[in-house]
DNA sequence: AATGAATGAGTTTTCATTCAT
DNA sequence: TATGAATGAAAACTCATTCAT
């Protein structure tokens, strides 16, 4: 604890209060979160910046204090959050001890908890809808999210084959079969129920896992 | 009334009446095809009717002779083609004689030939992107396309179980697992390669089928 | 008069009436004229395209049918009219027969009639005000208008010296002294009366000429 | 009340009070100088107060501590400096002893040294560009600067005529001819080289003077 | 039927001004 | 005094829709 006799240095040069500072620091993320919600719901072009501002509780002009324009806001929305979630998953896979089936199960559950069941899942719909209009952003997403996610699943399946737990098969194709239902589940949350005619996401994932493993497992 | 056997006299004021008639009859479909291409590529809101008209080789005003507005054009794009393809599939399934695995295989191949590999596949991306903005259209698509397609797959799996070819399992969830890779494949053609990192669609479908059956089949 | 038996060829392919065509052809010049008036009066930035459209009697959107944006309108305003007037003057100078003093007088009068006394004079104020904001346009104006105009005066003075009518002097500097009052007169019409405290432009030009010649003429 | 001989104790809460005071007193002039530079370069409307503040090294809010708004800043820019320079010239003319030609020469040189060659010359371009948007400011400038400057030249020419050094002529028109090249020279420094195609300002002024006098002087 | 010029409501973006700190 | 985050009115530009021809 600081000695009571020493007053805090009166820095007259930095009178900016903490409250304002904290607000300013949090703004970009708040704005991006509001934008994500609306972009995912209505699409990029159909979303008005007026609405984004209103959803974030600021005026239209304030948006431009933090992002130079609508497209920059879009980039921020795509390039945020997802990458952090992936890094976490990569560490977990590296540290996992147990059967490959359990690892695969952990991957599915982890995906749901940190991506599929969160607002981040909307990014999937957004990137599907807008990739043609933003090729560089799509490129970034592909390299930093899709390819890394696919590598994670590929390593897991390869591990299962190497250890004799899974039968030999076309690993790349299997990766797609693992991933496809996840992506559809994510997209379904923000559009039509393309997947999961009626069942809950958790049950859906369990069935997916069960089918997968019984298909992959050496009979 | 015109006599059926006598062709209309080709006056200089109405040259090539047949050609124009044929052209006129084909117009709506041509316009819808052009609109589909652009809607799928850029999204509904970002597509300008100017561009649709140009792509169809007509003037902007002409669009309004065939469709009352942009939204009507969108409805036409969604509500056309897909339903016909489904009816065909329904008849084929009903008439199929052979193992259920073969039927499932025929379904996947038929889907690719009549939907997945054609411009119609773009409707899938379009519905994902725009369903929130057009709830009634989404409702129509769900009932007339998704539900009927899912019913087809469900009947097939149920047939396999009933005949002892497949092991008993949660049929509804299995339907999703069957369908998800198809939808992702369709969407991938018009956005990012979400599925099929590198392999050809046909090989992708074969692997999907192989994995499915070895997972479904009683071991 | 056309023979009554020969009907005008019914070109069903070009139903565009002359009236509309004539209107469309005249539009760019009408818009540029309105823009010139407002740009000169208020300045480029302070002029609203809404006002330009209103002054031209069209809607805002119509402007964009003829010019891709505000800057293009500015370019058109600067790059039109002045050059044609200059070409005319160049021909007149080349064809002139008479004393150099008379030629100089004709130049001043001709300038007033075709530029200084017309709306074109406003371009001078406009280019002064905006040249820093539009370097390429300024470059064009300098080469196509200023330099050519200056060359005209220079040739005239050189002619006078060569024929012994004027005394030898620094021709380039003299050119500026000839031109400066003209430019100020033009600018004065659209801003403050920088020149011509009170007298009429014609009298102003006559005095300018008289002073010039009595300064140039061999005493 | 503070004793005049004892300087204020330099407390840690108000460091460098003298410097700050001096800074504070100089602020309005510093701000006006920065504003002049930018207004002249880009025009009044196209200049952002953000940029003025940045150029003066203060924050945007600080501007409003010294001027109530953008227009007030414009007024200050116009109404400062020029008047002082004129008063000086008026005194010099009144006290001048020598030939009228020498006086005229001194006027031209003095103008260049105290106005034409300094940032003040920019005011000329600014007034030309903006007079229509600020009629009262233009009125002030006309009365306090233009009319007084013109009176100075008029008195000089009249003196020459009265003393038999110049031939009789229309004095008002002659004033314009004297002034026009100066104004153009000033404007040229901040826009296109309307005057002085290539020569240096000093040589330009000397030629102007020589031409003028040889035109004014009794032959 | 077909055209395409014209419209004006709607959207993005800018910036003078305010005000809490 | 000084700051700079926040505002919102205003301006450039777009595009679905209309309609005279």
d(CA B199, CA D19): 74
* Predicted local confidence at residue C195, as pLDDT: 77
Residues in CB range of B74: below 8 A, 6 or more apart: B35, B39, B44, B130, B134, B137
CA of C69 to C1' of F13 (A): 8
What spatial distance separates the first Cα and last Cα of chain B, rounded to whole Å? 71
The answer to whether the Cβ–Cβ distance between D43 and C138 falls below 8 Å is no
Show residues of chain C in contact with D42, CB under 8 Å: 132-133
What residue is closest to E18 (Cα–C1')?
D61
Residue D7's pLDDT is what? Answer: 46
Provide mean pLDDT across the span A130-139: 96
Do the Cβ atoms of B179 and A187 come within 8 Å?
no
Of the given ranges (C74-78, C201-205, D95-99), which has the lowest mean pLDDT? C201-205
The residue ranking higher by pLDDT, B92 or A197, is: B92
Q: Above 50 in pLDDT, residue D213?
A: yes
Examine the pLDDT at A203 and tell me if it is beyond 60: yes
Which nucleotide's C1' is closest to D68 (Cα)?
A: E17
- Is residue A99 packed enough to be buried (19+ CB in 10 Å), middle (13-18) or exposed (0-12)? middle
Kindly report, residue by residue over A14-28, the tens digit of the pLDDT.
Answer: 445 556 666 778 899
Mean pLDDT, residues D138-166 taken together? 94
Structural domains in chain B, sorted by start = 72-216 (1.10.357.10)
Residue B168 is predicted with a pLDDT of 86
User: Which band of pLDDT confidence, cut at 50, 70 and 90, is reported for residue D130?
Assistant: very high
Q: Provide the pLDDT confidence category of residue B19 given band limits of 50, 70 and 90.
A: low
With CA atoms as reference, the chain C residue closest to D203 would be C173
H or E stretch covering C114: none
Range of weakest confidence among A123-127, C55-59, C94-98, C168-172: C168-172
Q: At what angle do helices B171-188 and A201-216 cross, to 10 degrees?
A: 90
Interchain pair D42, C212: CB under 8 A? no
d(CA C210, CA C93): 20
DSSP conformation class of B98: S
Checking if the pLDDT of D114 tops 50, the result is yes
Q: Which residue has the higher pLDDT, A183 or C81?
A: A183
What pLDDT is recorded for position B18? 55
- Does chain A touch chain B (at least 3 C-beta pairs within 8 Å)? yes
pLDDT of residue B23: 66
pLDDT at residue number D74: 97
- By CA distance, what is D13's nearest residue in A? A12
Question: Distance (Å) from the C-alpha of residue A6 to the closest C-alpha of chain D?
Answer: 16
Tell me the pLDDT of chain B averaged across its residues: 87
**pLDDT level of residue D214 (50, 70, 90 thresholds):** confident
| Shortest Cα–Cα distance, A10 to chain D (Å) | 8
* B80: confidence class by pLDDT, cuts 50, 70, 90: confident
Chain A residues close to B212, C-beta within 8 Å: 215
pLDDT of residue A15: 46
φ/ψ of residue B4, rounded to 5:
-60, -30
Size of interface A-B (CB pairs under 8 A): 164
| Predicted local distance difference test score (pLDDT) of residue C49 | 98
- Which of A70, A129, A218 to probe the B interface (max B CBs under 10 A)? A129
* Separation of B65 CA and F20 C1' (Å): 16
Q: Per residue in B129-185, pLDDT tens?
A: 999 999 999 999 999 999 999 999 999 999 999 998 988 888 888 898 899 999 999
- Nearest nt (C1') from D23 Cα: F1
Whether residue C5 has pLDDT greater than 70? no
Q: C158-167, long-range: CB within 8 Å, 24+ apart, which pairs?
A: C159/C100, C159/C103, C160/C100, C160/C101, C160/C104, C160/C216, C163/C100, C164/C218, C165/C99, C165/C100, C165/C101, C165/C217, C165/C218, C166/C100, C166/C216, C166/C217, C166/C218, C167/C216, C167/C217, C167/C218, C167/C219
By Cβ distance, the residue of B172, B198, B199 closest to A197 is B172
Chain C residues 5-64, Cβ below 7 A from strand F: 15-17, 19-20, 47-50, 60-61, 64
pLDDT value at residue D137: 96
Query: Is A102's pLDDT higher than 60?
Result: yes
pLDDT per position as a tens digit, D97-111:
999 999 999 999 999
DSSP sequence for A105-169: HHHHHHHIIIIITSGGGHHHHHHHHHGGG-HHHHHHHIIIIIHHHHHHHHHHHHHHHHTTSB---
C-beta atoms of B191 and A129 within 8 A: yes
CB B71 within 7 Å, strand F: yes
D118's CB contacts (< 8 A; 6+ apart) are none
Q: Residue B17: what pLDDT?
A: 53
Q: What is the pLDDT of residue D4?
A: 44
pLDDT digits 0-9 by tens, A144-181: 999 999 999 999 999 999 998 998 888 888 898 899 99
> What was the pLDDT predicted at C134?
97
- C1' of nucleotide F6: residue with nearest CA: A62
Decide if B219 and A215 are in contact by the 8 Å CB cutoff.
no
Planar angle of CA D41, D42, D47, nearest 5 degrees? 120
Q: Do B207 and A181 touch (CB under 8 A)?
A: no
> In Å, what is the separation between the CA of C138 and the C1' of E13?
27
> Mean of the per-residue pLDDT values for chain D?
87
Contact present, A125 and A40 (Cβ < 8 Å) = yes
Mean pLDDT of chain C: 88
Over residues D177-190, the mean pLDDT reads: 94
More confident residue, D213 or C132: C132
Alpha carbons D137 and D70: distance in angstroms, whole number: 13
**CA-to-C1' span, B64 to E8 (A):** 19
Q: Do C192 and D219 touch (CB under 8 A)?
A: no
Those nucleotides of strand E lying less than 7 Å from any protein Cβ are 1-21
> Of all residues in chain A, what percent carry a pLDDT higher than 70?
86
CB A34 within 8 A of CB A76: no
Q: Identify the top-confidence range among A195-199, C1-5, C145-149, C161-165.
A: C145-149
- Please tell me the distance in Å from D145's CA to the nearest CA on chain C: 11
For an interface test with B, give the residue of A194, A202, A218 to mutate (most B CBs within 10 A).
A194
The CA distance from A34 to the nearest CA of chain D, in Å, is: 29
pLDDT class of C10 with cuts at 50, 70, 90: very low
Instruction: Round to a whole number and report the distance in Å from the CA of C43 to the C1' of F21.
Output: 39
Nearest to D184 among C170, C180, C214 (CB): C180
pLDDT, tens digit, 9 for 90 and up, residues B114-141: 999 999 999 999 999 999 999 999 999 9
Cβ A62 to strand F below 7 Å: yes
pLDDT (tens digit, 9 = 90+) per residue, A73-92? 999 999 988 888 899 999 99
Residue B149 half-sphere exposure toward CB, CA atoms < 13 A? 25
Mean of all residue pLDDT scores within chain A: 88
By Cβ distance, the residue of B128, B176, B204 closest to A187 is B128
Whether B183 sits inside 8 A of A184 (CB atoms) is yes
């Amino acid at each position: 604890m600081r000695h009571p006799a020493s007053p805090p240095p009166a820095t007259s040069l930095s009178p900016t209060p903490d409250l304002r500072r904290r607000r300013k620091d949090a703004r970009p993320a708040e704005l991006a979160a509001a934008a994500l919600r609306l972009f995912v719901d209505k699409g990029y072009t159909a979303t008005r910046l007026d609405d984004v501002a209103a959803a974030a509780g600021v005026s239209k002009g304030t948006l431009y204090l933090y992002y130079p324009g609508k497209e920059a806001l879009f980039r921020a929305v795509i390039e945020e959050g997802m990458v952090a979630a992936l890094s976490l998953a990569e560490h977990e896979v590296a540290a996992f001890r147990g059967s490959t089936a359990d690892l695969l199960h952990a991957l599915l559950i982890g995906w749901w908890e940190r991506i599929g069941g969160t607002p981040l899942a909307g990014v999937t719909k957004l990137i599907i809808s807008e990739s043609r209009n933003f090729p560089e952003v799509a490129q970034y997403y592909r390299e930093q999210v899709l390819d890394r996610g696919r590598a994670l699943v590929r390593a897991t399946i390869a591990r299962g084959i190497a250890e004799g737990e899974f039968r030999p098969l076309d690993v790349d194709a299997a990766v797609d079969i693992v991933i496809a239902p996840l992506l559809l589940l994510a997209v379904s949350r923000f559009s039509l129920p393309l997947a999961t005619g009626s069942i809950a996401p958790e049950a859906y994932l369990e069935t997916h896992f069960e089918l997968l493993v019984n298909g992959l497992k050496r009979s």
